[in-house]
A = this chain, B = another copy of it.
Amino acid sequence: MQEKLDILKAKLKTIHDVNYAAAVLGWDQQTYMPPGGAAARAEQLSTLSKISHELFTADEIGELLSDLAQAGFDYDSNEASLVRVAQRDYDQARKLPPQLVEEMSRTFSMGQQVWTKARAEKDFSQFQGVLTKIVDLNIQAAEAYGYEESIYDALLNQYEPGMKASEVQSVFATLKSALVPLVQAIAENKDAVDDLVLQQEFDEQTQWDFGLLPLQAIGFDMERGRQDKSAHPFTTSFSVNDVRITTRLHKEMIGSALFGTLHEGGHALYEQNSDQALEGTLLAGGTSLGVHESQSRLWENVVGRSKAFWQFYYPKLQDFFPAQLKSVSLDSFYKAINKSEPSYVRVEADEVTYNLHIFLRFELEQSLLNKSLRVADLPAAWNAKMEEYLGMTPPNDALGVLQDIHWSGGMMGYFPTYTLGNILSLQFYSKALQDIPDLPEQFSKGEFGALLGWFREHIHRHGRKFTANELIERVTGDAGIKADPYLKYIKQKYSDIYQL
CB distance B40 to A239 under 8 Å? yes
A19-53 contacts to B (CB < 8 Å): 20-22, 24-25, 27-28, 32-37, 39-41, 43-44, 46-48, 50-51
Which B residues are CB-close (under 8 A) to A240? 40
Contact of A25 among B21, B35, B36 (CB under 8 A): B21
CB distance A43 to B17 under 8 Å? yes
CB distance A222 to B34 under 8 Å? yes
Contact of A41 among B28, B242, B279 (CB under 8 A): B242
Contact of A242 among B33, B222, B224 (CB under 8 A): B33
CB distance B279 to A40 under 8 Å? yes
Asked if A418 CB lies within 8 Å of chain B CBs, one says no
CB distance A20 to B44 under 8 Å? yes
* Chain A 238-270 interface mask (CB, 8 Å, partner B; 1/0): 111110000000000000000000000000000
Contact of A48 among B17, B28, B34, B35 (CB under 8 A): B17
User: Among A34, A39, A41, A50, which residue has the most Cβ atoms of chain B within 10 A?
Assistant: A34
CB distance A40 to B280 under 8 Å? yes
CB distance A48 to B36 under 8 Å? no
CB distance A242 to B280 under 8 Å? no
Which B residues are CB-close (under 8 A) to A13? 43, 47
CB distance A242 to B24 under 8 Å? no
CB distance B17 to A225 under 8 Å? no
Which B residues are CB-close (under 8 A) to A195? none
Asked if A316 CB lies within 8 Å of chain B CBs, one says no
User: Among A33, A223, A239, which residue has the most Cβ atoms of chain B within 10 A?
Assistant: A239
Closest Cβ–Cβ distance, residue A121 to chain B (whole Å): 17
Question: Which residue from chain B places its CB closest to the CB of A279 in the assembled complex?
Answer: B40
Contact of A239 among B18, B36, B51, B228 (CB under 8 A): B36
* Given A24-B24, A32-B228: A241 and B37 interface contact (C-beta under 8 Å): yes
Q: Determine the distance from Cα of A221 to Cα of B35 in the docked complex, in whole angstroms.
A: 11
Question: Which residue from chain B places its CB closest to the CB of A28 in the assembled complex?
Answer: B24
Asked if A14 CB lies within 8 Å of chain B CBs, one says yes
Q: Determine the distance from Cα of A243 to Cα of B48 in the docked complex, in whole angstroms.
A: 20
CB distance B279 to A34 under 8 Å? no
Which B residues are CB-close (under 8 A) to A40? 20, 238-242, 279-280
CB distance B34 to A226 under 8 Å? yes
Contact of A37 among B25, B43, B44, B238 (CB under 8 A): B238
Q: Determine the distance from Cα of A240 to Cα of B39 in the docked complex, in whole angstroms.
A: 11
Closest Cβ–Cβ distance, residue A48 to chain B (whole Å): 6
CB distance A37 to B228 under 8 Å? no
* Chain A 340-358 interface mask (CB, 8 Å, partner B; 1/0): 0000000000000000000
* Chain A 207-228 interface mask (CB, 8 Å, partner B; 1/0): 0000000000000011111101
* Given A17-B43, A25-B21, A238-B41: A36 and B221 interface contact (C-beta under 8 Å): yes
Question: Which residue from chain B places its CB closest to the CB of A35 in the assembled complex?
Answer: B223
Which B residues are CB-close (under 8 A) to A228? 32
Closest Cβ–Cβ distance, residue A479 to chain B (whole Å): 38
Which B residues are CB-close (under 8 A) to A280? 40, 43
Which A residues are closer than 8 A to B by beta carbons?
13-14, 17-18, 20-22, 24-25, 27-28, 32-37, 39-41, 43-44, 46-48, 50-51, 221-226, 228, 238-242, 279-280
Please name 7 pairs of A and B residues whose Cβ atoms are closer than 8 Å in the assembled complex, sorted by A: A13-B47, A21-B24, A24-B44, A27-B28, A37-B238, A40-B239, A40-B242
In order of increasing CB-CB distance, the 9 nearest A-B pairs are A37-B242, A36-B224, A40-B239, A36-B241, A17-B47, A17-B44, A34-B226, A36-B223, A21-B21
Apart from A17-B44, A21-B48, A34-B223, what 15 extra A-B contacts exist at CB < 8 Å? A14-B47, A21-B24, A24-B44, A35-B223, A35-B224, A36-B223, A36-B241, A37-B224, A37-B241, A37-B242, A39-B241, A40-B240, A40-B242, A41-B242, A51-B51
